[in-house]
Structure 1
């Protein structure tokens, strides 16, 4: 049974069982109306109308009962549309993001705050999971998107939109590294380093670069967030390694930033979406804030590609 069939059924009744008038009201043909009514009767297995020859003259007993139910259903259709529109626009609804810890944390925070300012009724939840578990949540519809550290598995039912996150070093302004003309791994090695937890991919990238040079990595402090790293550096614990987006000079006037992009590869972040799910409109706003390159065209092309 289709909603259109109930609309045609109801419209014919409201126009005094005149199929010609009903067809005009529906902007369709008389045969089209007759076909929809016949398909509805065939599917229900009952006769809905009383006939005099080819003319409809009234409703059967069961037709009257179905008319009452159909009217109730059609009365709720605008409310259904209102609910759908409210969720699609972000006036209501939720956004669930499954993310790897440490990955694009500052950008995620900024995107969430910006979205909530635009849409205060929107509920946003962040679930921190490893990529292998995150994929299962996305498939099951438990999350709208993933922001994951270098997802290695490729799945036909998920799309992966890569973005790069560059890391930098921060140190107090009076630190020797702030005055150095050239930064090498050998120059960095003697100084204690505050970095992410041992399991974080960003931490592994640092260790990998030093290992390839045969130099022990200088990481002495493994911390849970960029904010903690910055706090330790400000208190003189060492040099910090954070994502470039996490450092706001105005908020940390006592620190200088040190470009090390020539020494360490960027952290590859995957923005992962279910291929077949219809994203709510506010998801596109969130992604544009996360990375301006993720516009609607890029996302839709990725969803359509195989």
Structure 2
């Protein structure tokens, strides 16, 4: 059994079982990748992939289990390499950070700028994605760490560490009649055009479900992809929006006003995502603690090394 066989199997799975695409990622030829897979199967004495002709179309049950352990083996190799580099005093490298639009724009920007200034030889690469996709990037080793909302489902091989709980606000243009209400209720909110996150996303689905649970039908006039779109449409007078409190700044969002609706909607939880049993660079721990003091290295290492 060779390390290259594990790399080829995981790359093919990550490429949607497309051997040609996996070969490009591995800087290899398609026949070479296919040969590695066949040799691996022959050594194990079991089919890992169901094929239609020569084309893989599905993982077998054994294949799915082998992939899970192959990822762990490759992760261990990455850990060995990282520990050796640290021990040799090597500086620099690249940290890939996966995060949501809201966190990248409203929470991490200043921390990233300060980090880059402090560690000019370390490259911070930011990848924006939806929460569950952030978790997948971390699980697959394509991102060292993730900072996002709590995903609706956390993969088994990923650790989610909550570090911030944020109330939700209703945001409206200055002087909007909703802001003058003595008490905000779901009924009063439903009386106005709503601008919410896309209902296909957990944040948007949750907001709409709260109205429906109260027997109120709402038809949002805008289902926004990100908070900036919500605030732009609110500023244009097209409706009222519901956003996390950390996404609002009285100084920057001139012309908009907010009211707390924490009594109507559950708060938003932000988490750090890391690979279970993974090794994080010391630079990652420095960066995370700059975001929140609760993200202390010893605590995170303990959580990462725990079994699920």
Q: Normalized against structure 2, the TM-score is what?
A: 0.63
Q: 1:167 to 1:117 in 2, by over 3 A?
A: farther
Q: 1:135 to 1:253 in 2, by over 3 A?
A: closer
**C-alpha RMSD over aligned residues:** 2.8
Q: Give the number of aligned pairs.
A: 223
Matches within 5 A, 1:32-181: 85-87=89-91, 92-100=92-100, 102=102, 105-129=105-129, 133-153=133-153, 157-163=157-163, 164-181=165-182
Bigger CA radius of gyration: 1
Alpha-carbon distance between aligned partners in 2 of 1:216 and 1:289, rounded to the nearest angstrom: 43
Matched, 1:264 2:265: yes
Deviations 1:191-247 (A, max 9, x none): 112222232221112111111101113521122322222222222111122221111
Q: 1:214 to 1:281 in 2, by over 3 A?
A: same
Alpha-carbon distance between aligned partners in 2 of 1:237 and 1:191, rounded to the nearest angstrom: 10
Q: Name the SS of the counterpart of 2:246 in structure 1.
A: helix
Q: Which runs of 5+ in 2 are unaligned?
A: 1-83
Q: Name the SS of the counterpart of 2:269 in structure 1.
A: strand
Deviation at 1:104, TM superposition (A): 6.8
- Is the CA contact (8 Å cut-off) linking 2:135 and 2:151 kept in structure 1? no
User: Which position in structure 1 is the counterpart of 2:249?
Assistant: 248
Q: 1:204 to 1:277 in 2, by over 3 A?
A: same
Alpha-carbon distance between aligned partners in 2 of 1:158 and 1:214, rounded to the nearest angstrom: 37
- Is the CA contact (8 Å cut-off) linking 2:227 and 2:243 kept in structure 1? yes
Q: 1:234 to 1:133 in 2, by over 3 A?
A: closer
- Is the CA contact (8 Å cut-off) linking 1:96 and 1:125 kept in structure 2? yes
Q: Normalized against structure 1, the TM-score is what?
A: 0.63
Q: 1:152 to 1:238 in 2, by over 3 A?
A: closer
Q: 1:279 to 1:129 in 2, by over 3 A?
A: same
